[in-house]
Amino acid sequence: MKKMTLTLVLTVLTLSLFSQDYNRAMLDGIDSLNHIKKMEDFQQVANYFERIADAEPNEWLPGYYAAYCYIVLSFREQDAAKKATIVNKGENLVNKILKIKSEESEIYALQGMLYQAFITLDYQNNATEYSMKAEASFDKAIELNPENPRSYYLKGMNLMYTPEAYGGGMKAACPLITRANELFENFTKANDLMPDWGKDYNAQLLKKCGGE
């Protein structure tokens, strides 16, 4: 009996230790992500989250942050071949976390951003197809959680950089940026580990809207 109790207590303790570890590790990672200064650091932070993702196959957030890092990295990469590899990596990660959690607004918002990365790979060939794909992802993200500011922010940004001929432009984009701003102001995370980015950049976009 005693033995059993010991085992039980140990198991519970180890589990809680692990989960504490997970929370701690994630918070550390999010903290480094929020304080990135150089482009190369995105790779480091991505690696960090991938290690956690590998160890925690049932958690979607480590993969989410890793994918986010790669997508941001891809926007800044100049070498076309490298850029393509990075975008592919981002795509693999997004597909992977969609298998862990299929109905998550944040993942679809990120997927929309991933499709924007595809457009930058080859504007002429990918623009039409991937704009539509991005649009569909943002709409799905809004459907799953109408309060998620990132869906509106990213959708608005997508429209802002889409030529008017394709239904983009300021006129179409600004209402979404404004809506995102309202949601950002009132946004409270469901827990500490949930995504909470985009507010500052959205504010910059909002200024552009005001300037029009």
Binding site for other proteins (CB under 8 A): 2, 5-6, 9-10, 13, 21, 25, 40, 43-44, 47-48, 50-52, 54-55, 70, 79-89, 118, 121-126, 129, 132-133, 136, 163-167
To the nearest 10 degrees (0 to 180), the angle between helices 80-100 and 61-76 is 160
Nearest-approach distance from CB 11 to other proteins, in angstroms = 12
Main-chain dihedrals φ then ψ at residue 200, nearest 5 degrees: -65, -45
Find where tokens 């995504």 sit: 195
For other proteins, the closer of residues 54 and 143 by Cβ is: 54
For other proteins, the closer of residues 76 and 82 by Cβ is: 82
For other proteins, the closer of residues 84 and 98 by Cβ is: 84
Q: Which two tokens stand for residue 94?
A: 């997004």
Nearest-approach distance from CB 114 to other proteins, in angstroms = 13
Nearest-approach distance from CB 96 to other proteins, in angstroms = 14
Give the C-alpha distances (Å, rounded to integers) separating 184 from 98, 115, 121, 198: 24, 23, 30, 8
N-terminal to C-terminal alpha carbon distance within the chain: 75
